[in-house]
Structure formats: structure tokens, C-alpha cells
Structure 1
Amino acid sequence: MAITATKLMGWVRFGLFALILAALPVRVFAAPYAALVMDMRSGEILYSKNADTRLHPASLTKMMTLYITFQAVERGEISLDQMVTVSANAASQPPSRLGLRAGQKIAVRYLIRAAAVKSANDAAAALGDAIGGNQARFAERMNRTAKALGMRNTTFRNANGLTQAGHLSTASDMTILGRHLFYDFPQYYNIFSRKTADAGMAKVYNTNRRFLNDYEGADGIKTGYTVAAGFNLTASAKRGNKRIIATVFGGSSTAQRNAKMAELLDLGFKRASGRSPENRPSAPAADTQMLMASNAGSTSGLSAQRIRVSGAVSKSPFPKRRPGVPGADADAIQMALAQAQAEAQARALAEKIAADVTVEPEAVAAKLAEADAKPEPEAEIQLAEAIAPATGPRPMPRPRHIAALAPAPVEPEATRIAATEPVEAPVEDEATALAALAVEAPVAQTEIAALAPAPAPEPSGFAQSTEPQPETLRLASAMMDDILRNEADVEAQGDAEPAFVQSTEPQPETRAARSDKVILAALTPPAPAPHQQPKVVARASSSGGRGHGVSLGYYNSKFAAERALLTIALMETDTLGEALRKVASRPKGFEANFVGMSRDMAELACARLTARAQKCSVIGP
């Protein structure tokens, strides 16, 4: 029994010695140490140790796999709900695993959760095969993306980080990658801080949950471990307005790695400035050689399809038309502005004519003297013939002064505009009423003054009666009717020459002995000639319950006020279609008004304009 116990103790000692020998190579050949600490906001490096040494990244590789997956989702290559067929390559990956089987279909979102939280190798490989078509093509895309991100010392060979020749990176490059994940895809970054997640097939637990629980402010991001790499970790934490990101390579254990990371983050918070400006990294441009697997159909494998996408904009989309005034296009507005300018010019011409045609009796007498002294021009003779009555006896004293006062220099259109424009000043005498020509009962002297050109020289002895005779009023009214009919005929004929013929021989009845004083009077009025029924023209009036209006406020110029009136009239044709537009000159400026409205119409129009953010007020008598 004693011998048996002795042998047994020897075997125990031998076993312990064997275990010690087995452990020695691990310590002798431990992975090299490397670390880097960076201010996440500014990108400033706060601490560096072997940061550019190329080492095995282990599962930190999955940060690049997830970065490309997020790119593909945002660019429409795949969707989070797209079902991926698991390849044989993905199903054959060693632990850590989600447990995928070849030919199985699973949503992209579950693969993302398994790769980010559990660090499942089969889930990462399935994402790489789905996006790249196979492991080699996806590795090519990983290397192109690493170069675009500024990871100068990194080369990838697979999607999950298992040890493979040439699959190397640095602490500096992995810190850069983690910073891009934070800034380029903030909508997905929170997945790295989840302690558990639903991966579809199972509930998975975060491999970094101990550090997330133990370190204040920690919110990510990824762990990694292989025998060749040791215990790696890229972590991020925020305290106040400071955020630090750090990477450590070559930890000897999970506890030692976490303790070292806490030490590095504390160092970063001490050295970082809370006032440092945020310097966001630039996201890489679109990959021009994207490779994407076609998962359509019910095949067991994945048929890869090469899709070349250019990031250049080939065509700029045409901007949508801004919501404008209904029924008012650019041409209509241009015509309205032109009309406003024409009306302004016509109104100015009418005011000038009104100012120039204030006729006194002496001026009329002077014009009569000038008519006697000068021979009658042909145009004046023809106009005199045109206004003569068509039937009935001729008056013995031919009213040649009417021909002399014919408005030859004035254009017909300007004359009509001047005749129809209302005058704001009150009518105080016959001369002002003559310029307006807008009164309801025409007066002979008014029409004669409206047809008069510039003031004549001083009178030479003729006297004019200031009292209008009844016969004169009737004759002048009949003559003006004939003038208007003749003007309409001339306008209908266009540019055709008039067919009037004037005899050069003086007629006996055209001359009569004159006394010292000339009194304008008519002979027995001729028999009324048949004429067309007068046309009734309806115009808005500011009387009869229509004494209200709407004021749009004051403008710096008259043209600006008229343009505002036209624009508003086009916008509110229902309520302002029958209103009159009026610009009044005030000490504050030019007031734009709509007049000739009832109180209800004015209040309704002002309410609609207020709804359009247009200042307005109701004005009344």
C-alpha cells in the first residue's frame, strides 16, 4: 500500500510539471503589445505605443466587415430584411459561432447583431459572401475601403479575422476604423453597446459586457482574440463633453486587457481638452468596383454578379416648380407689368393734357383769329367735312374754329386714354371738366377745349360769349356722336386713306359778315338722322353702396404700387375682379388701394389677403 501511494504521488508531481511546461511557451511567445489613445472629437493622438506595428487584429476585423455592411445597406445594395442564403464557407467557420448551416436563410439584421455582439465567425463570413460573392472578392473590397479610410498598414484576407498569412493591421489603423464607425454610421453605432441582442436563431451576449459594466461611460466597441493575436480591444467612452477612443493589442487575458484599457482611457480623459473643436473625418467616396452577390432564386449556393457603380452624378434632377399663383404664369405677370407701365404713362399724359387745356375765353378768341388768318390745312378741312351733319340745311356761319381746333398732333389712342381716365382733383371750372371728358352730360365747350392743342397767341379783338346756348349744346352733342362714329369707321378700315373730297372753290354760305363780337349759336337744328342704339358700358363705381375699399399700404414709387395692385388682382380675381385699382400720393408714399367695393366685399378680400401674409386694411367713406 505504501509503494502504491508513493507511485501515485510521483504521477501527480509529473502531471503538475507537465502542465507548467505546457504553460511556459504561452508566456514566452506572448503576442507583442501595442496601444493608441485618441481624442474622438478632434482626432488628436494622446498616447501611442507600437501603434504602427503590423499585428494580428483577430476579431477586430469584424469592424471592417460591419462597416462595409452598413455601407451596402445605406447605398441600397442590400436591405436589413433581405434573406441571405448561408454559404458552405460561412457554415464551416470555427467558433465563436451562431450555429449557421449551409443553405439556411437568415435576415441580414440578425447576421449584423451576431457579428457585432457575439463576434460570431460564421455570421461575419455569411455577410462577406452575401456582399462580395465569396471570401476573396470581399477581402479585396475590404482592402479598398481600408485604403480609402486612411488605414495605411492594413491588409485583410477574410471577413472574420481568423489567423491567416498576410491578415495584419495596427493599433493606429483600428482606432481610425472605430472612429469612422462612430461618425459615418451613428445610426448603427449603438449596437456595439448592447449587452444582449436577438440574432433570430438565439439570444446572444456581448463579449465586451464586462468592460461595459465596469468602466464608467463605456459604450463600445469590439473585442478580439486568437492565440497569435492575444486579447485585443478597441473601446470608446464618454465623460462630459469629452469622448476617448483607444485600441490595445496583445493582452494576456481578458481581465488584464480590460484593466489596461481602463488605464489608457483614464489617461486620455486627463490629456484631452474639453474645448477642442470637433474635426469629423470625411467618409470615403462610393466604391467604383462594388461586388454584390445575387441571392435571387432558391439555389443552395450564391451566384456572384459584378456590378460597377459610378459615384459621379450623371444628371441633376430638375427642381420642382414652386407653388405660385394659380392661373398666373410668367407671361401673364409680364403682360400685367407692361399694362401697368402703359397705364402709368397714359395717366401721366392725361394729367399733362389736362394741365395744358385750361382754356379762357380770350384764348378761344385768339384761336378764332388764328383760324381766320391762316389757310385751312387739308386734314382740318376733311375733319370739318366729316363732322358736318349728313342731312339737313347747312348753317350759314360755318364753324371753322372747330376745324382749327382739331387734335391733329394728338394720337387717337392717347386721346381716348386721356378721355377715359378719371381725374382725382375736383372739377372747379369748365377747363378742368373739358380735360376729364368723363362727366355724364357732355358740354360743347368741354369738348372743344379737350380737342384744343397748346395755348394760342394773344387774342386780336374777338369776344366770346361765356354763356352756352341750348342750340349750341345740342349741335355739339350731335357732332361729337358723328366724330365717334367716324373714328370707329376709320379704325375698322385700317390704314386706308379717307375718301373725303374738299372743293377748292369757296362756298357762298361759308363766309358771312362778321360783327365786332362773335356769338357761337346754331341755326334751326337739322332733322335727327337715324343712328345706332347706344351701347351701355358697365363700369364699377365708388357710389351706391360701393364706397369701401382695401388698402395694401404705402410704396416708395408709383410703379411699385401699381405692380402690387396688379399682382394682388391676379391672385384674388374672385374678390377683387370688379374693384378699381387706385394709387394715391400721400406724404408717407404712394398708397395702393382697391376701391369701388361694398363693405362685405372689402372685408372678405382683406381676410383672404391676410391669409396670404399680405398686409391690408379696409377703408371706408
Structure 2
Amino acid sequence: MRQALSGIVSKSAFPLKTIMILAMAMTFVVADVASSLAAKSAAIVVDAKTGKVLYSANADGRRYPASLTKMMTLYLTFEAMAKGKISRNSPVVFSAHASAEAPTKLGVKPGGSVAVETAILSIVTKSANDSATALGEMLGGNETNFARMMTAKARQLGMNGTVFRNANGLPDPGQFTTARDMATLGIALREHFPQYYGYFAQRSFLYGRQRINGHNRLLGRIKGVDGIKTGYTRASGFNLVSSVNDGNRRLVAVVMGGTSGGSRDNQMAGLINTYLPRASTRGGGDLVAKADSNAISALAKVLLPKHDAPTPDEKPAAVAEADTAVADDATVAQGDSEDEDTAEAEAPKLVVPAKKVKTVIVSAPKVATAQIVAAYAEPTPVVDPVNTASVPPGWAIQVASSPKQSEAQAFLDKTIKQAPKVLADASGFTVAFDKDGATYYRARFGGFGSKDAAWKACTALKKKKIECYAVQQ
């Protein structure tokens, strides 16, 4: 390097010492950028026989689940099948809401139906958003109620860092999870429903005359991989939960926030190759709690907010028509891409070095009534959809409160028009809360990285005669 720099300095007015200092500075800048990008991802590898964590990176940081959400939709579907409430052949009717979901989708028209098994297969392969919503409406009466059931089940399984707002994982600022929670759910699916777990190994299925291929490219590529689920939105990055079984050892691994489908798959392959040989050949007892969900679901219906925050994919009709002209972009922005690798540029292969990590046992504590009350007495913490694949606790500002969600949303829209520069990097949302038996809605803007930033925005809004105060999420 010194020789190369000497050649440059002979043609430059700068002394060699100055150039060396600049080169070192650039090295630190590149390292800082790489570190910043790495911090946005999260991963965990769990021995599915013993519950020991073999690798962990940001495993408890909040992340958007994207279509990993459908793992819980399928968990509740399998539970209903196991209890005899529905069968593989039960018809799943698609409402107008389900049929209108963003791609990827099966494309069933309003009023049409498919068998439960077809809906399951379309979810594990195509990641069909419409099928997930239709199943949720079938099991919960409506998707809002089903989301409450999903979150209640998450608490029951010990997934204390997860909140669900819909059945499919399409963007919603109030829906979040952690890599650790997704690993817990992946283990629970195999433990609790071994009779249905084989669906996750399906690489394609025939729908009418159409052969639908799956998104999970590790099936058939890495020996022992038998599922489970991929996920992608722009806010989440590329997510993947994988289950591996080589006959003697079992792993469940999670990668969230990948920069491309290829780099995510390569990272997962590296984790599997590194940590599968370190997994135990003994053990095999249940690791995740399984109990009757009726009491928890009933309590959740009372305690969880009755309305979800508006989702980023809700658009006026005119905007929706404009999006139709650029269907590929709409697909990428709103949900799983038909071909994930075309959504982002392919990233270089990521080599994952082996690391010594403190062993932790994945536990699933029994959920008491007091715990559920504590979990939902306060509004759901905000998640910032602007910060790709990174959802740290932060600050928001509140500008209004109203007994009607539509009024709270209208105030958000009005505030943005009044102060577009102040709120250029903020994201508006509403939060439901109960007061004296009535439901009210707070109008807030999230995405502020510090208390000072939030108060600075409030000061600017107050100058425009807009009431405002900062709150920590």
C-alpha cells in the first residue's frame, strides 16, 4: 500500500504523510458504515432439542416480521384443525377485504373459496396475503379480532416482544417482533403440530393448472432444511426462519433485516453449517409452553385495543390505480415479492464466523392474568417504518386525542400539511386507549431518535399554533 501511495504522491502536491492519514480515515469511515448496516440485522440460532442459544445477534431488538407473521396464522390454523373445529377440506371464503390484499396473492375473487389445505399451501409457498387474511377472518370472525388472538397466543408461548396487527404481515407500524420470538414460534410449530409440520417442506403445489413455486430457496439446497418461512417488505428487509433436522440434531435459526434474498440465504446457510455440528444429539422434550388458549383469548379481546393503527398500505383509490401501472414496485413496497431477489440488488456472500456465545435457555413462562393486563394496559409502542429493518425504542410526539379514529387521522393529515418540513422524516399513526370505559385515539408522529429531536419538533409545531408534547415509546 505504501508503494502505491508513493506512486500517487509523486504525482500529487500532497505529502505522503497526509495521504496516509486520509487513507486511514477512509478505512475508519468504511468500518463505521459496515458496523451501522450490521446493526440493522438480527439473528439467532437455537438448539431445538435443548433450547440452548448457540448464536445471537440483536436477537431481542424489535423488527418488523413481514410475512413471518403468517407463521402465527398457520399456528392458529393448525390448532383449530387439531381440535376438530375445521378440517383440511373446510371451505375458506374470501371476503372483499381479503381479495383486495396486496400481492403476492392467490387471486381468489370476493365470495370465492378454497379448501383450508389449499390456503395453507399457498401461504407456505407463495406467501399469499389474501389466503392469510381469509383464514384469519374465518378463525377470528374478522382480521382485527384474529390479530388479538395471535398476540394472545404469542404471550402464551412466551413471545413477550411481539404484537400482531394483521394475519399476513403487510406493513403496519404497530406490528413488531424479535428474532428470539420467531425462533420460539418456529420451535412451537414443530413441537405442537408434528402432524401438520410437513406442509412447511412443500416446495411447490398445483393450483388448478398452475404450478406455484415457493420462496424458500434453502429447501433442497441445504441438507436437512425442512422449512419454515420467508418474509420481505422494504421496512423489514429480508427475513427467514429455518428449521434443520439431520436425524440426530435439530436447529431453528432466524435471520432478519437482510439486504437481499441472496445475502440472507447465504447468511442462514453459514449459520447452519457452523452451528448444526454443535447442537446436541440428546434431549427432545417440549421447549415451548402449550396450554388451553380459551381464557387468554377471551381476556385479550377485552384488554387489547379495539382498533389497529392505520397501515401504510391503505391508500386512496386514485393512488391505488396509479400503483397498478407499476405493479412490481407496489409488490415490493407492500408485501412479499414474487421473486425476492429482484427486489434488491444481490449482496456479496456473507461468511459467518463461529463465535463463542453465552448459553441461554429459551424459556416459556406461564402467562398469568396480571401479566397480560400489564402488557396491554398501555398503548402499543410505536415502530418506525422509515428506519429499514431496525426498530429501536425511541420518541414520538403527540398532537391530538379524539374519540374517533377518523378525526385523529384527519388531524395527522392536517398537521403534515401545516408543517411538512418539520415532519418530513416522521411517520404518523394513531394509538387506541381506554378511558372511563370509552375508547379514544391519540394522534402521534414517530421516528424521532432522541428526546431533544422530539422536543425540537414540538417547539417548531407550537410556533405554528399546534399543540404538541413528546413521549418516549
Q: Using structure 1 for the length normalisation, give the TM-score.
A: 0.41
Query: 1:465-480 to 2 correspondence within 5 Å?
Result: none
Deviates more, 1:272-281 or 1:233-242: 272-281
Q: What corresponds to 1:177 in structure 2?
A: 185
Deviation of the 1:281 alpha carbon: 2.9
Greater Rg over alpha carbons, structure: 1
Q: Deviations over 1:334-367 (max 9, x none)?
A: xxxxxxxxxxxxxxxxxxxxxxxxxxxxxxxxxx
State whether residues 62 and 161 of structure 1, in contact with CA within 8 Å, keep that contact through their aligned partners in structure 2: yes
Q: What corresponds to 2:417 in structure 1?
A: none
Q: Give yes or no for the alignment of 1:268 onto 2:275.
A: yes
Distance 1:31 1:95, change over 3 A: farther
Q: Give yes or no for the alignment of 1:75 onto 2:48.
A: no
Q: Please give the secondary structure, in 1, of the residue aligned with 2:164.
A: coil
Q: What corresponds to 1:239 in structure 2?
A: 246
Deviation of the 1:231 alpha carbon: 0.6
Distance 1:277 1:72, change over 3 A: closer
Query: 1:371-520 to 2 correspondence within 5 Å?
Result: none
Q: Give yes or no for the alignment of 1:219 onto 2:220.
A: no
Q: Give yes or no for the alignment of 1:129 onto 2:137.
A: yes
Q: What corresponds to 2:342 in structure 1?
A: none
Q: Deviations over 1:68-110 (max 9, x none)?
A: 0111112232222122221111101111111111111222111
Larger RCO: 1 or 2 (CA < 8 Å, sep 6+): 2
Deviation of the 1:198 alpha carbon: 3.1
Deviation of the 1:174 alpha carbon: 0.3
Q: For 1:219 and 1:79, how far apart are their aligned partners in 2?
A: 23
- Where do 5+ consecutive residues of structure 1 fail to align? 1-26, 292-621
Q: What corresponds to 1:43 in structure 2?
A: 51
Q: Deviations over 1:177-234 (max 9, x none)?
A: 00000110111111111111234574321110x2112211111110000000011000
Distance 1:81 1:242, change over 3 A: same
Q: Give yes or no for the alignment of 1:52 onto 2:65.
A: no
Distance 1:277 1:120, change over 3 A: closer
State whether residues 110 and 200 of structure 1, in contact with CA within 8 Å, keep that contact through their aligned partners in structure 2: no
State whether residues 62 and 177 of structure 2, in contact with CA within 8 Å, keep that contact through their aligned partners in structure 1: yes
Q: Please give the secondary structure, in 2, of the residue aligned with 1:250.
A: strand
Q: For 2:142 and 2:186, how far apart are their aligned partners in 1?
A: 25
Query: 1:581-592 to 2 correspondence within 5 Å?
Result: none
Distance 1:129 1:28, change over 3 A: same
Query: 1:548-567 to 2 correspondence within 5 Å?
Result: none
Q: Deviations over 1:365-390 (max 9, x none)?
A: xxxxxxxxxxxxxxxxxxxxxxxxxx
Question: Paired residues, what number?
Answer: 265
- Residue of structure 2 aligned with 1:230, choices 237, 243, 248: 237
Q: Deviations over 1:543-572 (max 9, x none)?
A: xxxxxxxxxxxxxxxxxxxxxxxxxxxxxx
- Residue of structure 2 aligned with 1:256, choices 260, 263, 276: 263
Query: 1:85-234 to 2 correspondence within 5 Å?
Result: 85-199=93-207, 202-208=210-216, 210-234=217-241
Deviation of the 1:277 alpha carbon: 5.4
Q: What is the RMSD of the two structures over their aligned residues, measured on CA atoms?
A: 2.2
Distance 1:28 1:93, change over 3 A: farther
Deviation of the 1:290 alpha carbon: 6.0
State whether residues 38 and 47 of structure 1, in contact with CA within 8 Å, keep that contact through their aligned partners in structure 2: yes
- Residue of structure 2 aligned with 1:287, choices 286, 294, 298: 294
Deviation of the 1:279 alpha carbon: 4.4
State whether residues 64 and 236 of structure 2, in contact with CA within 8 Å, keep that contact through their aligned partners in structure 1: yes
State whether residues 113 and 199 of structure 1, in contact with CA within 8 Å, keep that contact through their aligned partners in structure 2: no
Q: For 1:29 and 1:42, how far apart are their aligned partners in 2?
A: 32
State whether residues 129 and 138 of structure 1, in contact with CA within 8 Å, keep that contact through their aligned partners in structure 2: yes
Q: Percent identity?
A: 45
